[in-house]
Amino acid sequence: MSDSNQLLVRRIRNGTVIDHIQYGRAMFVLRALNITGKEGNVVTVALNVPSSKHKKKDIIKVENRFLEKDETNKLALIAPHATINIIREYRLVEKRKIVLPDSIVGIFGCPNLNCVTNSEDIKSTIDVIDKTKIVMKCRYCGRALTVNELVS
């Protein structure tokens, strides 16, 4: 990581830094975490930041909010290689990888238009059947789902 990137990550007193988001995905991450800016926290979004690992990346810094594991695991499909940095008093106190959860609730709409979750007020629930091969199924209509169908 270059010095300038280091600065982007470091200069936050308290909060969460989501680093190494695949470029172009920051907006999906914000939506999945329900970060709208209305909460009043300072939120910084950096797009297309030069990165040695993947050429370009997105970074999101949310000040004064410490994201919980079940929140950040929601990002498993959107930004599986992102790292979560929890900062307290300018110090990195926790560095976390994202883990694919057993089920993903209320994040993605089921692509099956006839699915009950699209017509009634039911939260979509996607069960992850195989975490290695990423095999997923809608709990309500049983449709097999691919990452591309959900994240687009």
Binding site for Zn ion (CB under 5 A): 110, 112, 115, 138, 140-141
Question: In sequence order, what are the residues at sequence separation of 6 or more whose Cβ sits closer than 8 angstroms to the Cβ of residue 56?
Answer: 23, 48, 49, 50
CB 15 within 8 A of CB 87: yes
Q: Which tokens sit at 109?
A: 């709409």
Segment (H or E) for 119: helix 116-119
Cβ proximity to Zn ion: between 77 and 110 the closer is: 110
Cβ proximity to Zn ion: between 59 and 115 the closer is: 115
Cβ 112 to Zn ion shortest distance, Å:
5
DSSP label at 102?
S
Q: Residue 85 is which amino acid?
A: N
Cβ 140 to Zn ion shortest distance, Å:
5
Cβ proximity to Zn ion: between 61 and 139 the closer is: 139
Cβ 113 to Zn ion shortest distance, Å:
9
Cβ proximity to Zn ion: between 43 and 105 the closer is: 105
CA distance 141 to 50: 42
Cβ 62 to Zn ion shortest distance, Å:
31
